[in-house]
Structures are given as C-alpha cells and as structure tokens.
Chain A
C-alpha cells in the first residue's frame, strides 16, 4: 500500500507540481527564475565546491538519462566485462566528486557568514535533499554492484511504466533500501524543483552559442520613416 502511494502516486504529484508551478512561476515572476549566486561574496571555497559538484552531478544525470532512453546501447556497451568495470568505475568516481563538491558547498554555506546571510530555508532544504540523493547513489554503487547492469532492467521499465500511465510500482518493492530512498528522494527533488533555486537548471543559456554578440532593441520598428 505504502509502496503504491510512494512509487505509484507520488511521482505523478511531483511531476504535475513541477510542470505547473514552473510555468506559473516563469510567467508571473520571471525575475526570480535563477539561482542566487554568491560567488561575489565568497569565491575561493565556491570554486572547490561548485565545479566538482556541477560536473559530477551533470554527467551522472546524463548517464541516468542514457540508461532510461537508450537501454539497449547500455546493455551492448556492458557486454564485455572490462567495459562494464570502466563504466562503473567512472560513475563511482563522478559520484564521489559530486559528493565532495556538495560537502564543500554545504560547509561553505554554513560556515561563511556572508554566504549565510543570503541563504534561505529552501536553500538549506535543497542541500540536504541533494546530499541524501548523492549518498544513496554512491551507497548503491558501492553495495549493490553493477548498477548500470540492473538499472536498465528495473529502473528503466519502471520509469517507462510511469511515462505510459500504467505505473508498475512492484519493480520498486523488492529493491534494496538505498535504491528505494534514491528513487523516492528523486521525486521529492522534482516536487520542490519549481519552488527552489533548482529552476536555474532550465535557464541554461544555450542560445548564447548562436546569437550575435550585440543586441539592439528598438522601441517600435522604425515606423516614422518619411518615405
């Protein structure tokens, strides 16, 4: 029963919240749609936290997405054990890198008085949730070997069942506790996404890559032309 609620119902609540509130927040308060950078107040520690954290977690996220969308390719890649070991080793290293970065960031947020003065309760909550997420992830990698191997046979079909509106939560029931927590906490993060600084993920400025350097805005198209 509880599994039904946590893995069959709650994901939908979280996703609906994320989508609806994100759109609502963007259209009513675009001003707040970013993360409040504190590099200006403290830069040295930030470097050792922000860079490993973002690179580690970003690549891991991409890895998970590949597992969900291209499970066949993951299976094929893992066909030779040596490649499996390399993949798992890299993932574990990235997880540890993200963990170290996150710990530095958390310590900085609590320890530096300037940064503390621009920290909200939501910021603290996000940090705690992310810490849980990374710890359960790293824990799983350490204790339940070859995650990339079983991920594509359990998590991938589970997530697809959610996507196709026929949730098969029993995939999660038999999972070890770290995996269960990891999945649940993921949906908690999804749920608080639109209420927190996490929204900066979707404001990544990719269009910068192709726009011209200079931007000129005219009040109205030059309509007062004489001819």
Chain B
C-alpha cells in the first residue's frame, strides 16, 4: 500500500444557482492577461448543453482521455510514436472558435466621435487582432438555453437517450436544466500529463495538484486535446499551456481556492483524501461499468489504524492525517456514496466529485396546471424530468442503478426532514423510504447538516501544507523579493525571443 494524499473536491449541484461568481473570481486572479482572455479555468455550463469549449465531451472529435487496448492503458490520442508523428500539426486540437474570440469595445469612439445626428457607439474589437469583429460566441453563450436546438440538441450525452426521452426534454412545459460548474479535476491518472511530449506537466506528490511547468512547456499542445475535460488551455500569446492551479498559493496557507471561497451557493467542499497509489493503473483499467466503484475503492479509510500507520511511514504529517479524518469530501464520496465523478469513462480518475442534482419535482400538466397530487409530493426517480439515463451518462459511466441509488438517498434526506418538520409523512412510510434508499435517520441528518448548514470550516478542511519549511531548506526565502513577472509563477517577465 502506497498511501498518498490528494486534495479533492465535491460540488453539490442542487445548490448551484448558476451565478458565475466562481468564474469571475478566478478570472480576476489568474486569467486576466493577454493570451488568456478566452480562458475560464472555472466555468459554469448549462446542462443539457454543449458546454465550453463546444462539445468538449465528444472524444471522437478531440481524442481526450485514455482507452484500454489489450490489457494496457493508452491515451486515446494514439501511442507515443503516433503522437510524435503528429507533432507538426495536431489534428485533434480545438481552435479558438471552439471557445470564442475574446473582444473588447472601442470605448474611445464614445468620446472622440465628431458631433453628428446619431449617438456614437462603441464597436466591438477583437482582443487578438484589434480589428472590428462580429460577436458570435462568448463566455456562457448557452447560459440557460436548455431547450435550444443549437445547444441542448447537440449535447453529446443526448445520443444515448431514446428519441422519446430526448423529445421529452424539449417540451416547453417540461423544459429543465441544471448548472455544471467545472474546474480541473486534478486527476489521479491525468491524461494531460500522459500525452505531454516535453514532460512539462506533472502531479505534485504532496497534494496531487496538477501543474504545467511554464519553463519546460514547449507548446506542443497535446495536453489541450489529451485532457478529456478540456481544462488545459493554450495561451496564444506566450505559446504555453495553462490550467487551473487549484489556487495552490492559497491552499498552501490553508485558504480555500478563490472559486470555492466566493461560491455564492456554497456548493463547494474541499478536503483531503488518502488513496492507494499502487492501484492507480489497475483501477483506471477497470471495465467501464465498474469504474466508479473501483475508483471509490481506491480511497482509503483515514480512520483505519493500518492506513494511518502506513501514511505516517510515508511521511504524511499528523495534521494532514487529522484533516483526512475530518474531510467533507470523504463523507460525501466514500461514507455516504452520494458524490460521483464526472465522466468516469474517460479513465483519468478525476478527483472532483459531484452530488447529482435531485431532479425538479415531477409534474404533469395534463389538467393544464402543475399537478402535484401524484400521491408522492417529491415525485419518483423514475418519473424524473431529466431522464436518469442522461444523469448516468454524466456521472456514472452509464450505470443507471448507481445514479438512482444516489438520487433515492437524496430524496430520503428530504423525506426525513419533511417527516420531522411538516409531519405529513408517517414513521412507517419514512422507514420504508429509508430502507429503499439504504439510509438511516442518523445518516440523513448528517447529510442534511453538511448540505444545508455547513459552516466555512466544515466545507473546507484544509491544513496548511508547511511548504515554507520545504522551501527554507533549499533556498533563501527572501531571494525573490522585488522580482516581477506576469503574476503567476514566473520569476522573470514572460517575454518571448531575446
């Protein structure tokens, strides 16, 4: 057993209100620079929808993630030699237009226009060419456009649904959508690392954060296609790849990343997980329908004395182990089993988990009005407005039973609270619901507390990483004083040429 530590995340989708505060916080800190204008290390997309960049989930198009060939795991982007053969031109690279062309406005015209009969206008100009342009796409262009033929209908996950299921999503009265906030998953088996010819991308041993060395990156761009989540971006100004750094300067000092800290819906949880590094490859090769379970089995119980001992042997500090024992992520993912990885079938073992949204109350409009008298106030999982199949495509590599199990448990929590506060569910009915969901009142209460009433310290259990102690042993900590750069990680200005 090779105990390793991973900073992990849970996003509770029922709580996301789609306000994009997270994206803006991230943009202001990290990507408000030339070459990075179009990047959203954190983005929030509407599902069903095509997402950002458009159709990122379509691996026929972008060849991201891994596939099992024979009994070995290979990047879908072709083997090592094949990749080098594509080095002069990467046929699977998304282009700027798959994201959007960043623009600003010619504000000067508002002040400098000569007197005339019309109001002066500020024309949009491209931030790349500085020439006037027509805006055809932008960040969150598909926001809330669930029913639209352009976005929802082209959602890659739709292809798994039957025609009937698909059409049901487009009936005006039943139109439904939810938000999917996305950041880098800081995977255990990152495909971006696997396909990088220069060896510039790496996973930090201490906390599992995946980073791109700007010095080593030579701009071959395979990571852009290789990451199945499209969470590595190409900076067209510096010619380097960039990605979410999980705000490591904040995390190292025990602060939550900016998008977590600012999240209005408080949907985000962060904590550490202990896992068994020896089994990564074996788990990543598991048969598709077992992937989610296999990944869960990789996570070790931080209260198991054997695990604690092995962790200490490996040099993991006491306070980190204590944090693992209090980790909210562990509870959601492993203890309660209500948080699932996004698109486990990409086989990167993503370490960001989602509590799937409890579907909106199933209502029928036969009588012309919302009819909730179905006997069952909360409706049933089977009658959910978003087909369970669709959820399964996103969160359980197609396994509907697994998603149903999670949704039942979430429903059970609601039923339990209703039993407690409203009282129109009697004890017998409640215990039937609990039994079906495999949940107890005690667990339901705990899930309820961590979902609805968590304080800051409950949502983010982040021990400081003591990195300063490491740094002090190898260099003078004041040696970087007065150095400037473009603001993230460069000691010298990021300038090209000589």
Contact = CB atoms under 8 A, between A and B. Distances in A.
Interface of A: 21, 25, 29-43, 46-47, 50-51, 53-55, 113-114, 116-118, 120, 122, 195-196, 200, 203-209, 211, 213-220, 222-227
A30 B84 contact: no
Given A38-B236, A53-B88, 18 more contacts: A29-B498, A30-B216, A31-B494, A34-B217, A35-B239, A39-B89, A40-B236, A41-B95, A42-B95, A113-B131, A116-B129, A117-B128, A122-B497, A205-B87, A211-B199, A214-B280, A216-B204, A220-B473
Interface of B: 73, 75, 80-81, 83-84, 87-91, 93-96, 128-131, 189-190, 193-194, 196-199, 201-206, 214-221, 224, 234, 236-240, 280, 312-315, 317, 467, 470, 473-474, 490, 492, 494-498
A114 B190 contact: no
Contacts of A29: 492, 495, 498
Task: Tell me whether chain B's interface is mostly helix, strand or loop, or mixed.
Answer: loop
Most buried by A among B80, B193, B198, B236: B236
Contacts of B84: 205-206, 208-209
B89 A220 contact: no
A120 B236 CA distance: 14
A206 B81 CA distance: 10
A31 B237 contact: no
Contacts of B313: 225-227
A222 B205 CA distance: 9
Contact of A32 (B94, B312, B470, B495): B495
20 contacts: A29-B498, A35-B219, A37-B221, A40-B234, A41-B95, A43-B89, A114-B128, A117-B129, A118-B237, A200-B218, A205-B218, A208-B196, A213-B75, A214-B193, A214-B203, A214-B280, A222-B314, A224-B317, A225-B314, A226-B312
Contact of B492 (A31, A200, A220): A31
B219, B312, B313, B495: most-surrounded residue (chain A CB, <10 A): B219
Contacts of B492: 29, 31
Given A41-B236, A203-B218, A213 B204 contact: no
Nearest to B129: A113
A214 B467 CA distance: 23
A218 B354 CA distance: 29
Nearest to A223: B315
B247 to A, nearest CB: 18
A218 B315 CA distance: 12
Nearest to A42: B95
Contacts of B238: 31, 36
Contacts of B202: 215-217
Given A31-B214, A34-B239, A36-B496, A213 B194 contact: yes
B76 to A, nearest CB: 13
The 9 A-B pairs at the shortest CB distance, nearest first, are namely A205-B197, A218-B205, A213-B194, A224-B315, A36-B239, A222-B315, A34-B218, A208-B197, A54-B88
Of A120, A219, A222, A224, most B-chain CB atoms within 10 Å: A219
Nearest to A44: B95
A193 B7 CA distance: 44
Given A117-B130, A215-B203, A43 B197 contact: no
A94 to B, nearest CB: 15
The winner among A32, A51, A200 for most chain B CB atoms within 10 A is A32
A226 B128 CA distance: 54
Contact of A36 (B193, B206, B219, B280): B219
A40 B216 CA distance: 20
A222 B236 CA distance: 37
Contacts of A226: 312-313, 315
A208 B195 CA distance: 9
Contacts of A209: 80-81, 84
A32 B214 CA distance: 10
B193 A120 contact: no
Contacts of B237: 118
Nearest to A219: B470
A174 to B, nearest CB: 38
Contacts of A33: 218
B215 A31 contact: yes
A216 B95 contact: no
A135 B114 CA distance: 52
A132 B217 CA distance: 31
B205 A40 contact: no
Contacts of A225: 313-315
A113 B125 CA distance: 13
A205 B89 contact: no
Contacts of A113: 129, 131
A216 B197 contact: no
A206 B87 CA distance: 11
B95 A219 contact: no
From A118, A122, A223, residue with most partner B Cβ within 10 Å: A118
Contacts of B197: 205, 208
A118 B473 CA distance: 41
Nearest to A33: B218
A32 B75 CA distance: 28
Nearest to A21: B498
B334 to A, nearest CB: 23
A32 B496 contact: yes
Contacts of B190: 214
Contacts of A118: 236-237
A169 B437 CA distance: 89
B497 A195 contact: yes
B219 A220 contact: no
Contacts of B467: 219
B133 to A, nearest CB: 10
